[in-house]
Structure 1
Amino acid sequence: MSKPITEFIEKYYLHFNSAALVDASKGYVAHLKDGGKMMITLAGAMSTAEIGKILAEMIRQDKVHIISCTGANLEEDLMNLVAHSHYKRVPNYRDLTPQEEWDLMEKGLNRVTDTCIPEEEAFRRLQEHIVKIWKDAEAKGERFFPHEYMYKMILSGVLEQYYEIPRENSWMIAAAEKNLPIVVPGWEDSTMGNIFSSYCIKGELKPSTVKSGIEYMMYLADWYPKNSGGKGVGFFQVGGGIAGDFPICVVPMLYQDMEMTDTPFWSYFCQISDSTTSYGSYSGAVPNEKITWGKLDITTPKFIVESDATICAPLMFSYILENS
């Protein structure tokens, strides 16, 4: 079997962050081969960076067993799915004047670094359908998590008329088809969360119709012990922030607060991050700091790749797919 990515990085990625990338990739493969499961956490604008092109294949091939992501990453994969041709790339984004930024806003183009998400085509195409699903659930007295509502929308087929990229490039479609467990801490801080809030303010929906972040922690607290036997659950963190900080705490919460003293630590840890430790940033903390918080064991394989996740994650996922 040809392994072009493996051959390339093992030949040229020999020192510093590149060597850490190889070591972490090999550790991920070893963890899976030993029967372990893996959580991937997504912060930043990874869905807008089209990580779905390869993350979807990781999901289809059972290389990831649960995802934690921001509300933005949950929805932006679907926005790209239904409005890709309306996106605008701005390669000279560093040179834009305030007036040029205002012009983009007036055109309904919300900029994320070099990429503008088209408000009307992306947000509003989803809004029409997700609001109906929220209201239908509420009318039946039902409550679901944010990602479960998204799954319902995907699996209903109502979005298929809008697809502008191959469906195999959407990680949310792959996740919905597998009913992959997802936790979305801080979902309220997202476009769909803002839209939901507006309907609650107008009295058209109740806040309780969408399950909360506390309920996500309760869900994760149920999932983790059931899946941490044998080799255990690994933690692959893309970026920092709440997508990683929230789920990693389930271990000390179970051990310390629930007094479930047989709770195993996370059994693999890797973070791709450009954050540094010198600012008191938890996202930039070296993995050993997590030992003091009761999240990682002394023996947990620990890796940190201090680099750009949009460059490193696709390389690492390609290596993992070629070797496991």
Structure 2
Amino acid sequence: MNVTTFLKHNFRHFNAAALIDAAEGYKTHLDNNGKMMITLAGAMSTAELGISLAEMIRQDKVQIITCTGANLEEDVFNLVAHDYYERIPNYRELSPSQEQDLLDRHMNRVTDTCIPEMEAMRRIENVILEEWEKADQAGASFFPHEFFYKILLSGKLEESYQIDPKDSWLLEAAKKNLPLIVPGWEDSTLGNMYAGHVISGDIKNVHTVKTGIQYMIYLADWYTNNAKDDSTIGFFQIGGGIAGDFPICVVPMLHQDLQRGNVPLWGYFCQISDSTTSYGSYSGAVPNEKITWGKLGLETPKYVIESDATIVAPLVFAIVLGQ
């Protein structure tokens, strides 16, 4: 019995049924000439979602990704330093002194996984700094993800790979030059390092790395060129936060601020979140609320799966991939 057959036989009610419905809706959207954006919040890269997401990219099941700065960099950290990571299954029981011990060993904890500063963060900093300085000296500027694409495609890191490269979603995205949106990149380890290099004078022009407003302009152009009546864009949101909030707003901006009335609304929406429905919580808002903001329409297929994305997303992807 393959994964899809197992899921469709056993996942019949509640969040399990919502998973099946969302996955089938995803497939229908693509089959109807639609395109899909996937958004990544939380620590999906450190959770190694790349194992399934990379295959989605290879098989053209996703056409654009929005992610946090942490998810952008942490996929590459895992690529080059996986052997130095430490898993802590009893992370819920750690005392403050044990947390301090991890800090003293330069092991930065993300739930049950510790990222090694020297082998991961500083190794990438040394390589990407060369690209920052080169662009700065040339008076050029690029998006954060473009700098990552440069270092990945250059081959400079290949000798340091510690996982099968086919499980790195960012490497697969780089190979396809997949459009990426990284709002709030400054709120990341490399973003902090970049700010430090600007302060110290290593980088003369702070705008050598483009930021959020330029990403929104880029997304507005991409959406306008790709969203047509016969080819709408779907929105598959993993978690909440800026990775979801930022890109979904491109539609009301196009309609209300640029007066482009012929741009279709998002054509599919699914959110995987463990945030329960609540007042005042964006991540806990039901999809229908987005109708009032001009993001989704009455007829937009809408799904919410209230569960752990590290469990749910690979299963949805398995159905979409026909596994």
TM-score exceeds 0.5: yes
| One-letter amino acid of the structure 1 residue matched with residue 78 of structure 2 | N
The correspondence of residues 202-221 of structure 1 with structure 2, limited to 5 A, is: 202-205=200-203, 206-221=205-220
More displaced 10-residue stretch of structure 1: 292-301 or 270-279? 270-279
TM-score w.r.t. length of structure 1 = 0.98
State whether structure 2 residue 222 is matched by structure 1 residue 223. yes
Q: Is the 8 A contact 2:216 2:247 kept in 1?
A: yes
The correspondence of residues 62-77 of structure 1 with structure 2, limited to 5 A, is: 62-77=60-75
Partners of 1:289 and 1:164 lie apart in 2 by: 44
The correspondence of residues 280-299 of structure 1 with structure 2, limited to 5 A, is: 280-299=280-299
**Structure 1 unaligned blocks of 5 or more:** none
DSSP 3-state at the match of 1:39: strand
**Structure 2 unaligned blocks of 5 or more:** none
DSSP 3-state at the match of 2:114: strand
RMSD: 0.8
The correspondence of residues 69-218 of structure 1 with structure 2, limited to 5 A, is: 69-205=67-203, 206-218=205-217
Give the equivalent residue in structure 1 for 2:266: 266
Give the equivalent residue in structure 2 for 1:238: 238
Q: Is the 8 A contact 2:145 2:182 kept in 1?
A: yes
Give the equivalent residue in structure 2 for 1:26: 24
- Please report how far the alpha carbon of residue 283 of structure 1 lies from its aligned counterpart in structure 2 after TM superposition: 1.1
More displaced 10-residue stretch of structure 1: 197-206 or 43-52? 197-206
- Please report how far the alpha carbon of residue 231 of structure 1 lies from its aligned counterpart in structure 2 after TM superposition: 3.0
Partners of 2:311 and 2:277 lie apart in 1 by: 21
- Please report how far the alpha carbon of residue 263 of structure 1 lies from its aligned counterpart in structure 2 after TM superposition: 1.3
Partners of 1:5 and 1:271 lie apart in 2 by: 21
Partners of 2:60 and 2:225 lie apart in 1 by: 17
- Please report how far the alpha carbon of residue 279 of structure 1 lies from its aligned counterpart in structure 2 after TM superposition: 4.3
Query: 1:137-190, CA deviations, whole angstroms, 9 ceiling, x for partnerless residues?
Result: 111111000000000010011010100001100001100000000000000000
| One-letter amino acid of the structure 1 residue matched with residue 49 of structure 2 | I
DSSP 3-state at the match of 2:44: coil
TM-score w.r.t. length of structure 2 = 0.98
Give the equivalent residue in structure 1 for 2:314: 314
| One-letter amino acid of the structure 2 residue matched with residue 196 of structure 1 | Y
Q: Among the aligned pairs, what percent are the same residue?
A: 62
Partners of 2:72 and 2:25 lie apart in 1 by: 27
Deviating 4+ runs (over 3 angstroms)? none
Partners of 2:140 and 2:202 lie apart in 1 by: 15
Partners of 1:132 and 1:42 lie apart in 2 by: 27
| One-letter amino acid of the structure 2 residue matched with residue 281 of structure 1 | S
Number of residue pairs the alignment of both structures matches: 321
DSSP 3-state at the match of 1:235: strand
